[in-house]
């Protein structure tokens, strides 16, 4: 029964990943794709958590942590890129208003 | 013991249902701002429920408190709304159009009153 519930959770998360991939390929603007990429990373994180619960191992917890950090950094970098056209900026451009 | 196990796996299943609903909203909603509403709030709630369920399972059933997982929960809880906000701001500033049935746009007036340097 518990195994069945976990398999159902895995299937629901896989459906969520498919929805995110649909919006990632289809999305009209770049911001749609970034939002769906963020949700894709977050849902993958949940999927890995459920997998580690199903196998009863702690080996995947590092993956959860690193994937959370990388998803956040990727979203911030892409959002800055479409807002200003650059990702990292030098020191003398830091004081324009934003 | 078995009741605790069922309750914790129920939390995980609840979170997975929320993730699927947020992906449904991501597919069906008409606008990038409405879509980020679905993608940020409900996906964060779903993932937090899943991670909390896994943490409670490892704590109560397998008797192991995982600091790494707790750190992951706190990190997702802090950074996911920030990422959604940044993405929405970048979308507005790069000129993504609102849905045609949107009734209110507070930033539009402010932008025409005080033109920024960009």
In a domain, residue B77? The reply is yes
Task: List pLDDT tens digits, range B77-90.
Answer: 999 999 999 998 88
Neighbouring residues of B12: CB distance < 8 A, sequence distance ≥ 6: A5, A6, A9, A50, A53, B49, B50, B53, B54, B57
In a domain, residue B118? The reply is no
Task: List pLDDT tens digits, range B53-76.
Answer: 999 999 998 888 889 999 999 999
Select the residue of A31, A46, A65 nearest B50 (Cβ to Cβ). A46
Cα–Cα distance for residue pair A97/B6, rounded to 1 Å: 52
Task: List pLDDT tens digits, range A61-94.
Answer: 999 999 999 999 999 999 988 887 776 766 555 5
In a domain, residue B62? The reply is yes
**Per-residue pLDDT averaged across B1-10, rounded?**
89
Q: Are B45 and B59 in contact (CB under 8 A)?
A: no
- Across the interface, whether the CB atoms of B13 and A8 are under 8 A apart is answered yes
Q: Record the pTM.
A: 0.85
- Residue B91's nearest CA partner among A88, A23, A34 is A34
Best residue in A79, A89, A97 to probe B by mutation, most B CBs within 10 Å?
A: A79
- Across the interface, whether the CB atoms of A49 and B50 are under 8 A apart is answered yes
The nearest alpha carbon in chain B to A46 belongs to B47
Task: List pLDDT tens digits, range A13-40.
Answer: 999 999 999 999 987 888 899 999 999 9
List the domain range (segments joined by +) for residue B69: 2-113
């Amino acid at each position: 029964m518990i195994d069945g519930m976990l398999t159902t959770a895995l299937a629901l998360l896989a459906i969520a990943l498919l929805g995110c991939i649909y919006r990632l390929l289809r999305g009209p603007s770049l911001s749609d794709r970034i939002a769906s990429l963020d949700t894709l990373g977050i849902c993958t994180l949940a999927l890995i958590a459920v997998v580690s619960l199903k196998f009863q191992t702690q080996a995947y917890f590092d993956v959860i942590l690193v994937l959370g950090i990388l998803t956040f950094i990727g979203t911030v970098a892409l959002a800055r890129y479409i807002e200003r056209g650059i990702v990292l900026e030098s020191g003398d451009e830091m004081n324009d208003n934003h | 013991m078995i009741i605790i196990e069922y309750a914790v796996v129920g939390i995980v299943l609840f979170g997975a249902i929320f993730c699927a609903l947020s992906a449904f909203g991501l597919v069906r909603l008409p606008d990038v701002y409405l879509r980020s509403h679905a993608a940020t709030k409900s996906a964060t709630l779903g993932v937090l429920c899943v991670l909390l369920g896994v943490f409670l399972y490892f704590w109560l059933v397998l008797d192991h408190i995982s600091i790494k997982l707790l750190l992951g929960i706190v990190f997702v809880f802090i950074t996911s709304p920030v990422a959604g906000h940044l993405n929405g701001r970048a979308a507005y500033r790069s000129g993504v159009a609102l849905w045609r049935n949107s009734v209110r746009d507070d930033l539009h007036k402010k932008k025409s009153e005080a033109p920024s340097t960009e």
